[in-house]
Each structure stands twice: as structure tokens, then as C-alpha cells.
Amino acid sequence: MSLAQIRYFVVVAEEGNVGRAARRLGVSQPPLRRQIQGLEEELGARLFERIPRGVRLLPEGAVFLAHARRILGEVDAAVAAVRIGRPPT
């Protein structure tokens, strides 16, 4: 699993729509769908329910979303700490 997949997952979850998520991320829909499918395969669980107007998080997706946000927050904090040159307080 890559950070890109985690970021893509969070944006799709926030947008509730792959097309809107793709526009926000600046990528096309097919690669975005493949990344999400790959993430689901790696986790061994469906994260989204596909609905006529987009996607809806399944319970497994909601659990993963909480962790994904924490992971991305930690990565952002690590990057900021390195750029500043001192550990976060």
C-alpha cells in the first residue's frame, strides 16, 4: 500500500464520487479506480459501496478512513519537522 493510495482513498471518501475526486486530485478516473481497487484487494475488504451517484463508505471503509487520516497527518507532521529542522512540540 502506498501513500498515494491512502491519499486517493481519503479524497474519494470525502467527495463521495470518483469523478469529483479525480478532478480534485488532478488524475483521470480509470487510474484512480484501479488504485482504490488495488487498495481494497490488498486489505481484503471492500471499502466503498458503489451507488448510482457515486460511492458510499462501507463500515470497513469508515474504520480505514480514521486510520488513513491519522497516517497522512503523521506524514505531514514528519515532513514539516524536517523542513523546520526541529521535532514537533
How confident is the model over 1-51, as pLDDT tens digits? 999 999 999 999 999 999 999 999 999 999 999 999 999 999 999 999 999
Tell me the residue range of the domain where 38 lies: 3-84
pTM of the shown model? 0.88
State the pLDDT at residue 83: 86
- Is 84 strand, coil or helix? helix
Please check whether residue 89 lies inside any domain of the structure.
no
Residue 87 has pLDDT above 90, yes or no: no
pLDDT of residue 32: 97
pLDDT for position 84: 83
Structural domains of the chain, count: 1
Residue 60 belongs to domain with CATH number: 1.10.10.10
Query: Concatenated DSSP letters for 25-86?
Result: HTS-HHHHHHHHHHHHHHHTS--EEEETTEEEE-HHHHHHHHHHHHHHHHHHHHHHHHHHTS
Residue 10 and residue 19: Cα distance in Å, rounded? 14
